[in-house]
A and B are shown apart, each in its own frame.
Chain A
Amino acid sequence: MADSSATRPGVTTGPALPVVGKTEIRPTWCPGCGDFGVVAAVEGALKRLGIPSHNVVIISGIGCSSNLPHFLSSYGFHGIHGRVLPVAEGIRWANHGLTVIGTGGDGDGFGIGAGHFVHAMRRNVDLTYVTMDNQIYGLTTGQASPTSVMGQKTKSTPDGVIENPIDPIALALASGATYVARGFSGDVKQLTDLVAGGIQHHGFSLVDVFSPCVTYNKLNTFDFFRQRVYKLESAGHDPTNLPAAFQRALEWGDKIPIGLFYRTERPTYEDLEEVLAPGPLVHQPTGLAGKDKLLDEFV
């Protein structure tokens, strides 16, 4: 279902309202950081969809990647580490006329925030979650992350990681996300398509992005991915086939798939929450004036 703001209930629309662009703030990321590609793709996707900037909220947690909302001219909420999704869900339920985009790192989303990740997906909240997955903790200067691979040496694992990494794609498929994609900062064009597809999708969309940390991750570099990634759409993958999507998700090694793994339609949490049926909560009447019948049960 198209998700452009013009078709959404209860939002201020009008011609010629500016769409999302850059702000006066320049990203403070290290030169060459993968996150530059991600902010470009999010901006490009929102521009392409023509959603006015005042109807977009970008939420983030804490980490290098979580600075993203400051660089775009939408509303933003730069919260605390790991809590992107509950804040985003609250915003979405307060006003489901808004386009809600969660952003952040792999530590933020799959480490400290892992519980929220699973639950937001099973609820199929209609929002797009773009994770800048650099397989390392950037802002805290290079410790292992939940997606660091076995054996990877980091500041916190000088002898190598001895835990299996989380596979965000497989986890998303298992948890009930209805749009599951993986992008690569080195391919902003495809990434823009994937983010735009996620925003348009009616339901929870995950776009997990290989977004290399050029400073602290010397293993999963741009070159590492350039040599290995291949596009699912060129490989004949059918994104409506869940078992096939699982199989692709498990691929890691010489060939690593990027693109759309899975897409399906399922009612969103907002569709099923009856209180939201009359329209966004923010536009509904407030208070109990005249509802004295409510007091009868206390007699």
Chain B
Amino acid sequence: MAEIVVRLGGQAGDGIASIGESIARSFSRMGLHVFGVNAYQSVIRGGHVWFGARASDARVYSQGDGTDVLVALDRQTFDVHSPGIRPGGTVVYDAEKFSIADNEVPVGVQALNVPALKIARKYTSASVLQNAPGLGAAAYLAGIPLEVLHKQLSDSFGRKAGDVANWNLGASRDGYEFASQHASVSEAAPKARGPAKLLMTGNQAIALGAAAAGCKFLAQYPMTPASSVMHWMAAHSRDVGVVVKQAEDELAAINMAIGASFGGVRSMTATSGGGFALMVEALGMAGMTETPVVVVEAQRSGPSTGLPTKTEQGDLNMMLGAGQGEFPRAILAPSNPAEAYRLTIRAFELAEAWQVPVLVASDFHLSESLMTVDRDEIDLNVTIPSLETVQPDGHDYKRYQLTTTGVSPRALPGQPGLQFVAGSDEHDEKGHLISDIHSGLPVFITMRQEMMDKRMRKLHGLVSAADPPILEGPSASELTFVAWGSTVGAVRDAMRLLAAQGRATNLLWFPTVYPLDGDRVRAMIEKATRTLLVEANYSGQFGRLLRAEAGVHLSERFLKYDGEPFSPHAIVARALEVIRHGG
């Protein structure tokens, strides 16, 4: 397996995300597997930002470790990222901007002084071009053919072509040629292989999956890292036929989505933890009125406003407990964009089949990172059943009929003869309130209990309908990783590193984190030689869930809550510790 990591860094406003995406997309067009991370701070101009593009001829599941090519547009980038450059690597900088003393360059690393400002001045006096020579140099060092880079750049400028596009093509060519004269292509660079792959973020995959699943309405209030779900959908609303509503707040967003669902269309809302906290009461209303709704919860570091642009899996407890009283729900947790596409479709299917709210748990690392997806992993042909599940038959229609599955026939407004009231108060089979003059009377005490039982019965169905936990890797292993969500990616990479050291490990991960078949999970975990729970929060929230649902206690844990994603090497180190010393 050949792999290369290119990192580009500078200040917010330097266009780092766009040159980073150019590198990432050039790789994916070469048929390589790519993982791209966009790291930024909660400021619009001036903070330190960087983009990491990792490319390989084998699947890569995380940002990886180390750097082979570093493009430093400012001194801070050099200071922060140069210690991670691997031997044989190169740092690209411009001595006209800042200098690097010889003894500051890590051993085995080449410092390549590319006259970026000078090149840029050839084309324009404006400052817009200063990142283009570095982009060209990085492309050369990473083994990207100039035609591939330039085709990508032209495509991204699209119809906006003109002076700026031409300057960028010129300045990146000059950077490319300068590098080819003064350095050689990195030995780490993988060779082009096969047809272009799709490259998308988790949020793009979620939006695409929603539209493919028949979502017709998305209401959202901006909040990082969920906003780009709305951005993609809004940019394509006419093509995909989805009404996108930026609501006045998250209270409105989820209530609008529930209203639209009641009105007869599949609907969704997306937010991060703070916004989800505001949606909690309405989530229960969806549960009580048995109105399907899909809620994307893209977590970021908390508590409170926390670190808006950093990752965490700290909202699981809230997702599990959101809402007064008890009602059925499901929580799905994709680990990468391909799964985000597939599981968002599952979320719509489950929400509708079981008439419950379904949460899609994402996080900053999944929502905003770019990852390659094979064309055949995105099947746009989704079977979408009609929402009307009942026709008038002359009998009294009971919207909340007691059934063995807990699911009752659902009518839509506009259907003649089936009028009913969906109530957030406890109600009887016809939807009539039993909360006021009836509550406490014997027959209604029974009805209340039957209604609770009916709704909660859906959990049994949901457990068998939702995706079960998956055991991945060799069945005989020294250690079983237990993980969920985006963390699964770094674990997959760590397992490969361990295998290269002759250590067989496997992974138990959970596309559905709730509800769980506790007995089945316990049986799977009891087969493990040892376990290591890996999750991005302080208290091991998923571990606690497994303890409650499956009665297993995972005592060896690798928890991380510094806002940064897991690195495969750190997981390897922790796993070796557990294998050698205990667990």
Contacts and interface: CB of A to CB of B under 8 A. Distances in A.
Given A12-B415, A77-B262, A115-B252, A93 B208 contact: no
Interface in A70-102: 70, 73-80, 82-83, 85-95, 97-98
B241 A17 contact: no
Contact of B238 (A53, A59, A274, A287): A274
Contacts of A286: 214, 216, 241, 266, 384
Given A28-B436, A80-B281, A57 B415 contact: no
Interface in B294-345: none
Contact of A92 (B238, B263, B416, B437): B263
Interface in B242-266: 242-243, 245, 247-249, 251-253, 255-266
B420 A288 contact: no
B384 A53 contact: no
A92 B219 CA distance: 14
A61 B229 CA distance: 29
A71 to B, nearest CB: 10
Contact of A86 (B213, B259, B425): B259
Contacts of A90: 217, 219, 255-263, 267
B414 A95 contact: yes
A54 interface: yes
A235 interface: no
Contacts of A62: 424
A55 B419 CA distance: 9
B432 interface: yes
Contact of B419 (A11, A53, A276, A294): A53
Interface stretch (B135-143, B193-201, B573-581): B193-201
Contacts of B266: 286
A148 B247 CA distance: 29
Contacts of A289: 380-382
Given A11-B414, A54-B419, A78-B425, A299 B196 contact: yes
A87 B219 CA distance: 11
Interface in B184-214: 196-200, 204, 208, 211-214
Contacts of A78: 421-425, 433
A284 interface: yes
Contacts of A80: 255, 281-282, 285, 424
Interface in A196-241: none
Contacts, number: 214
Contacts of A98: 263, 413-414
B417 interface: yes
A288 B380 contact: yes
Contacts of A284: 216, 241
A292 B380 contact: yes
Given A74-B419, A77-B259, A78-B421, A94 B238 contact: no
A88 B424 CA distance: 15
A14 B247 CA distance: 36
B460 interface: no
B210 to A, nearest CB: 10
Contacts of B384: 286-287
A86 B219 CA distance: 10
A183 interface: no
Contacts of B456: none
Interface in B5-63: 25, 28-29
B22 to A, nearest CB: 13
Contacts of B212: 287-288
Interface in A158-185: none
B249 A115 contact: yes
B338 to A, nearest CB: 12
A95 B424 CA distance: 22
Contacts of A14: 416
B200 A281 contact: no
Interface in A275-299: 275-276, 281-282, 284-292, 294-295, 298-299
Contact of B413 (A67, A91, A288): A91
B153 to A, nearest CB: 14
Max chain B Cβ within 10 angstroms of own Cβ: one of A67, A118, A282: A282
Contacts of A254: none
B375 interface: yes
A294 B266 CA distance: 20
A250 B236 CA distance: 45
Contacts of B415: 12, 54
Interface size class of A (residues with CB under 8 A): 35 or more
B422 A94 contact: no
Given A80-B282, A282-B264, A288-B380, A276 B243 contact: yes
Contact of A94 (B248, B252, B267): B267
A251 interface: no
B237 interface: yes
A28 B416 CA distance: 27
A47 interface: no
Contacts of B247: 86, 119
B275 to A, nearest CB: 14
A116 interface: yes
Contacts of A288: 208, 211-212, 240, 380, 382
A119 B248 contact: yes
Contact of A93 (B214, B260, B285): B260
Interface in B378-399: 378, 380-382, 384
A93 B255 contact: no
A43 B241 CA distance: 35
A11 B382 CA distance: 27
A76 B422 contact: yes
A85 B263 CA distance: 14
B77 interface: no
A166 B247 CA distance: 23
Given A95-B413, A95-B414, A77 B422 contact: yes
A89 B416 contact: no
A118 B384 CA distance: 37
B412 interface: yes
Nearest to A98: B413
A54 B417 contact: yes
B29 A282 contact: no
B263 A94 contact: yes
Interface of A: 11-12, 14, 17, 25, 28, 52-55, 57, 59, 62, 67, 69-70, 73-80, 82-83, 85-95, 97-98, 115-116, 118-119, 273-276, 281-282, 284-292, 294-295, 298-299
19 contacts: A53-B419, A67-B436, A70-B421, A76-B420, A78-B424, A89-B256, A90-B261, A93-B263, A95-B264, A115-B252, A116-B252, A119-B247, A119-B252, A273-B243, A281-B217, A282-B414, A285-B241, A287-B211, A291-B239
Closest 9 CB pairs of A and B: A90-B259, A94-B263, A76-B421, A86-B255, A286-B214, A87-B259, A90-B260, A90-B256, A91-B263
Given A62-B424, A115-B248, A294-B236, 16 more contacts: A54-B418, A75-B413, A78-B424, A80-B281, A83-B282, A86-B252, A90-B256, A90-B267, A93-B260, A275-B242, A281-B216, A284-B216, A286-B384, A289-B381, A294-B208, A298-B198
